[in-house]
Amino acid sequence: MLTLTRSVGETIRIGDDIEIHVVEVRGGTVRLGFKAPREVAIHREEVYRQIAEANLLAAQVTADTLGALAAFAPSAPAEEKQADTATAPTAAEGHDVTAGRPAD
């Protein structure tokens, strides 16, 4: 860990595009200001931990959940059967379906 001493009005830079400004020091509290690109997330530690915990909970998928979702998914053989009949020519379309050529 790098430890720095800064006074009110002084700045710390991280890389080329992040600035940390010391705004105020009052008793044992320091107010900091941050300038960073929008894509850089800046959170207090307690908020960051809550976000991380929520993400972990959201990522945990139980077998019950997968089983419940599987009930809504079509079975693979049914999908293949539908694909075969949707693309195969029929006698009504003027094709001999047994030979795969136009009917006479």
pLDDT tens readout for residues 91-103: 555 555 555 555 5
- Mean pLDDT of the region 77-92: 56
Element (H, E) at 101: strand 101-102
pLDDT for 39-81, tens place per residue?
999 999 999 999 999 988 887 767 677 777 878 878 766 555 5
Tokens read off for 56: 């972990």
Stronger pLDDT, 8 or 58, i.e. the higher one: 8
3-state secondary structure of 38: coil
Domain spans in the chain, listed from the N-terminal domain onward: 9-37
Mean pLDDT of 9-31: 96
Provide the residue type at 83 as one letter: A
Predicted pLDDT of residue 56: 85
